[in-house]
Amino acid sequence: MNIFITGGANGIGKRTALKLVEKGHSVKVFDSDEEALEQLDREIETFHGDVTNSDDLEQAMIDFEVEVIVNSAGYQKQGAVEDMDIETFREHVETNYLGTANAIKNAMPSIRRSNGRIVNISSIAGKTGAPFLSAYCGSKHAVEGFSDSLRMELKDSEVDVVIVEPGPIRTGFNEQGREHLRNFVPSSRFSNWYSKKLDSPVDGVETEKAASKVVKAVEAEKPKTRYTVTKEAFFARKFKRFFPDRWWDRIILSKE
């Protein structure tokens, strides 16, 4: 299959690209990180561009008939609502949500022709909330609602829409997002919380586990609508569904 991966030069996207190439698929990686693109396996075709730029996406897909798109491009900066400027919220929405929608709209004609598949890498943050992750959680909630709506719109077609919801993954992505907290210490009213987070190790599983779920979402003959990655993500989704919000709040805040 011809598989187009946004944000495929790092983290989950990169590991997914490598695994898919190993399995004999033709993979094209689209990413804004030019240096990381240059370090990818030569068997992987690459294109330097921004998911928020339709011209970049159009150029990347001109000579590549997309059968499956994997939307892995992501952006995260942590901080309290009171500390972050509105532009930071806008950047999350532009990359995580609108970037996903933009890539799909550009790939849709070829995906329809091939009765292909759309795989959106969301996050368990798209089903829950967490302090200092409001911008990221909000953008991932948008991806979840968008994906559910698109799946229903495509019900009468042969195109599948699949969501992959990772829990904490050790990719460097969360570490980079956390570093943004340093901008607010010591002036923020939340400085004590920020300092504690900055001094704590980042929990999570290796990218291999998440990439394996993405590959499954790509290759399954009859894919599920959602795949969660890690037991924590699975139980978090179930807990939020069946128990009061304030119970969830207490659990999360006890870990901060």
Note the pLDDT tens digit of each residue in 71-85.
999 999 999 999 999
The SS3 assignment for 242 reads helix
57-66, 152-161, 239-248: lowest mean pLDDT where?
239-248
- Kindly tell me if the per-residue pLDDT of 240 is higher than 80: no
Confidence of residue 256 (pLDDT cuts 50, 70, 90): low
* C-alpha torsion sign, points 86, 246, 164, 142: negative
pLDDT of residue 187: 92
CATH code for the domain of 238: 3.40.50.720
The domain in which residue 242 lies consists of: 2-254
pLDDT of residue 25: 97
Structure tokens at 173: 């992505």
- In contact, 218 and 70? CB cutoff 8 Å: yes
pLDDT of residue 110: 98
Per-residue pLDDT, averaged over 228-242, amounts to 76
| Tally of domains within the chain | 1
More confident residue, 199 or 146: 146
pLDDT of residue 170: 74
- Measured CA angle at 108 (ends 65, 114), to 5 deg: 50
- Kindly tell me if the per-residue pLDDT of 138 is higher than 80: yes
pLDDT in tens, 18-31: 999 999 999 999 99
97-106, 204-213, 220-229: lowest mean pLDDT where?
204-213
Check residue 98 and report its DSSP letter.
I
- Kindly tell me if the per-residue pLDDT of 235 is higher than 80: no
Radius of gyration over alpha carbons of the chain, in Å?
Answer: 18
- Active-site position among 75, 97, 136, 227: 136
Per-residue pLDDT, averaged over 120-142, amounts to 94
97 has catalytic annotation: no
Confidence of residue 205 (pLDDT cuts 50, 70, 90): confident
- Kindly tell me if the per-residue pLDDT of 42 is higher than 90: no
Of the candidates 162, 23, 44, the residue with the CA atom closest to the CA atom of residue 104? 162
The C-alpha atoms of residue 117 and residue 1 are separated, in whole angstroms, by: 10
**If you average pLDDT over each of 139-148, 193-202, 239-248, which comes out highest?**
139-148
42-46, 50-54, 112-116, 117-121: lowest mean pLDDT where?
42-46
- Start-to-end CA distance of the chain, whole Å, equals 43
Structure tokens at 33: 């990180």
